[in-house]
Amino acid sequence: MGMFDNITVSQKYKLPLDSEQQEIIDKHVGKTKVWQRRFQTKSLDSLLNYYEIDEHGVVWERPPRGSRVDTDITDTIEFYDYITNNKLKTDLSVTFQALVISGKVVDVKLVELEASSNAQRVAAHEKWQQSFEQAEEKRKKLSWKIYNWLYAMHVNWCLGKLHRIGQQLSSNALTSWRRRLLFWD
């Protein structure tokens, strides 16, 4: 997976989408929701920074605290979004490429708008959901609470103590004890 940066594109900025493409996106987003136009990119620093493209095409950096800062980026930036929709049984991949010169978007083009089956993702999520629910049911049982209180809690405590003791011992001391205990090696 790796690290990336986030780019939010202003709703007022015109992305190169015709009405049919916009309709496909709106259909995947849902009737009652608005496409947030939040994208990821690996074309910049990939340090989990936040950027914004305003209505005039100016690229700003949004630090965690404080107001936005103008940038002097000159690069081709590829940014993408992945819109999931279980009802349509498809997920939508949207990718744009923007030519940015001195912090201003000069040109943007749509690189990809592709719907793909989400059957595998939905099946994996359902499987995870079932195992989570089974684990929750197990934790509610009296037998698990007794097991946890009488056994697991104490074993975890002992293992934690052993781990801390092991961290404090030097590797030389461990090596000499290993040689004594594992004499057959």
With beta carbons less than 8 A apart as the criterion, state whether 71 and 102 touch: no
Residue 185 has pLDDT above 60, yes or no: no
What pTM, to 2 d.p., does this model score?
A: 0.68
With beta carbons less than 8 A apart as the criterion, state whether 5 and 51 touch: yes
- Please give the mean pLDDT across all residues of the chain: 88
Q: Where are the domains of the chain?
A: 5-122, 141-185
DSSP code for 87: T
Express each pLDDT in 82-140 by its tens digit: 998 888 888 999 999 999 999 999 999 999 999 899 899 889 999 999 999 999 999 89
Residue 82 has a pLDDT of 92
Express each pLDDT in 41-53 by its tens digit: 999 888 888 999 9
Residue 88 has a pLDDT of 85
DSSP string, 39-77: EEESSS--SS-EEEE-TTSBEEEE-SSSS-EE----EEE
Reported confidence tier of residue 34, pLDDT bands at 50, 70, 90: confident
Residue 19 has pLDDT above 70, yes or no: yes
Rounded-to-integer distance, Cα 58 and Cα 74, Å: 12
Residue 184 has a pLDDT of 67
With beta carbons less than 8 A apart as the criterion, state whether 71 and 103 touch: yes
Handedness of CA 136, 138, 140, 144 (dihedral sign): negative
